[in-house]
Chains A and B, each alone.
Chain A
Amino acid sequence: MGLFDMLNVSASALSAERQRAEVTAANLANAETTHTDAGGPYVRKEVVFSATNSSPFQSVFHRLGNFGQAPGGAVQLTEVVDDKTPPVMRYEPGNPDADKDGYVAYPAINPVTEMVDLMGAVRAYQMNASAVTAAKQMIQQSIDILKSS
């Protein structure tokens, strides 16, 4: 069923982009966090996307039997990785998190980078939402064949 597979593909992208926006929002929220459970400042997170193609066996199986085409490449968020950039040191002797020299480690987060990333996620989300609308209209049109003319 091509049309319903298409909904699944777009839904996977909606989910992935939403999680990307969540991670970006967490980065923005913690841009000044110097104290975490793990100790040290908050570490900037980044998402890793990967295309999920069905296994070679599955796609050949789908093609040779009359089971329709194997679902097209969806996307999934495979992992959330830590940014390896070292923290930014600011001289704040009065801060309770300051080291013995009076420097406080702040996360290396640039709000501009995060905002651009957030906008990218939102636009990609919108694009996939239009793909969902297109799929829904196509399904609706197929249903309309049944309507008495």
Chain B
Amino acid sequence: MATTPLIQLLQGYLKVTADRQQTVASNIANVDTPGYHTKDINFQAAMQQVMNEGSQLRMEPVSMEVDGLPERPDGNNVNIDRESMMLAESQLQYQMGVQLIKAEFHRLLTAIKDGN
């Protein structure tokens, strides 16, 4: 249970972004593995899963294979340009989430200090 609803939302956002970053790292790690297929996390579905805190059996975001990427002769379809872009993208998204959490805590502090 988070302090405010916004912090709870941002907590889920950071979790999904970190999971996505891990998927990207895994794709980059397997750039030379024959037969490996690029994986990604469906952001919307993952957000819904993470935010659904009601049930005890909380499902974690599951990665799935990305369609439409050209396959190399060895059966690997990791596109290093796509992955480096995704790496930068999810890193910035994570940074944004962290900044928003910091801002929310700052607002809380302002409220505690009665505006001073």
Contact = CB atoms under 8 A, between A and B. Distances in A.
B98 A141 contact: yes
A43 interface: no
Interface residues of B, number: 40
A56 B21 CA distance: 22
Interface in A55-71: 62-64, 66, 68-69
A31 interface: no
B45 interface: no
B23 interface: yes
A80 interface: no
A113 interface: no
A10 interface: yes
Majority DSSP secondary structure for residues of B touching A:
helix
Q: Which of A2, A49, A144, A149 has the most CB of B within 10 A?
A: A2
Contacts of B14: 142
Interface in B58-77: 58-63
Interface in B25-68: 25-26, 28-34, 36, 39, 57-63
A128 B29 contact: yes
A121 B18 CA distance: 26
Interface stretch (A22-30, A89-97, A100-108, A131-139): A131-139
Majority DSSP secondary structure for residues of A touching B:
helix
B82 interface: no
A111 interface: no
B80 to A, nearest CB: 6
Q: Which of B34, B57, B60, B80 has the most CB of A within 10 A?
A: B60
Interface string A30-60: 0000000000000000000111000000000
10 contacts: A9-B22, A16-B29, A62-B60, A69-B62, A72-B26, A127-B80, A127-B83, A128-B28, A134-B21, A138-B18
